[in-house]
Amino acid sequence: MQIEFELNGATVGTSVEARTSLADCLRDNLGKTGTHLGCEHGVCGACTVLVNGEAVRACLMLAVQANGDKVVTVEGLSSDNLSPLQASFRKHHALQCGFCTPGFITTAHALLTAEPDADEERIRDVLSGNLCRCTGYVPIIEAVLDARKFYAVQKEKA
């Protein structure tokens, strides 16, 4: 089936089987391999992307269901330089093997964009849908907490 949607700000078109997940479409058809696939059944959160601004699991959505939507992957969150959230992950050593990182970054980005004043409990609650097999959760929480100030400034500007 022919589909068209906005990907990281640019309109893209591609042809997929109906059964193709949004995650596979992003990786295989559109080359956005920053979206990682861990469990492929909605448990690990590694494939989290933003659809119309909301964090969703790209393995639990068909590519055809994204037809006409606005999709943002981890590649769309920064240009040449790291985004403040990504820089905060580096500062706090919030990644080890890095496999889960795109899912944590996209999820935390969606959260802090909507709720820049999220407290630690709220952040832990939201990130409970993402698994890190290196078990580096503490620095991840610290990185997200530290990045809140950038999102607060952005929200004020908006």
Partner 1 sequence: MKPSAFEYASPATLEEAVSLLHAGNGNAKIISGGQSLMPMMAFRLAVPEFLVDLKHIPDLNIIRIADDGVHLGARVRWCDIAGDARLLTAHPLLAEAVTHVAHYQIRNRGTVGGSLAHADPSAEMPGVALTCDALLTIIGSSGTRIEKASAFFTGPLQTTLEADEILTELHLPAWPAARRWAFKEFARRKGDFAMAGVALFYDLDGNGRAENAHIGAIGVSDCPIRLGAAEAALNGNVVDDNTIAAVAAAARAEIDPPSDIHAPAAYRRALVGTLLARGLTQSAG
Residues that bind partner 1 (CB under 8 A): 1, 17-19, 21, 24, 39-42, 45, 48, 54-57, 59-62, 64-65, 67, 107, 111, 125-129
CA-to-CA dists, residue 43 to 39, 47, 57, 131, 145, angstroms:
6, 10, 9, 8, 24
The smaller minimum CB distance to partner 1, of residues 82 and 113, is found at 113
Which C-beta is closer to partner 1: that of 65 or that of 96?
A: 65
Smallest distance, partner 1 to C-beta of residue 81, A: 27
Rounded Cα gap, residues 72 and 138, in angstroms: 26
Report the C-alpha gap between 67 and 139 in whole angstroms. Answer: 37
C-alpha–C-alpha distance, residues 141 and 124, integer Å: 7
Question: What's the min distance (Å) between Cβ of 50 and partner 1?
Answer: 10
Taking 3-state DSSP, the helix, strand and coil percentages for the chain, each rounded to the nearest 5, stand at: 45, 15, 40
Q: Which of residues 70 and 91 has its CB atom nearest to partner 1 in the complex?
A: 70
Q: Strand 70-72 to strand 48-51: parallel, antiparallel, or no bridges (unpaired)?
A: antiparallel
Bridge-partner residues for 113, per DSSP?
none
Minimal distance, residue 130 CB to partner 1, in Å = 8
Q: How far is the CB of 140 from partner 1 (least distance, A)?
A: 14
Which one, 68 or 93, has the nearer CB to partner 1? 68
Judged by CB, which is closer to partner 1: 24, or 142? 24
CB of 107 vs partner 1, minimal distance in Å: 7
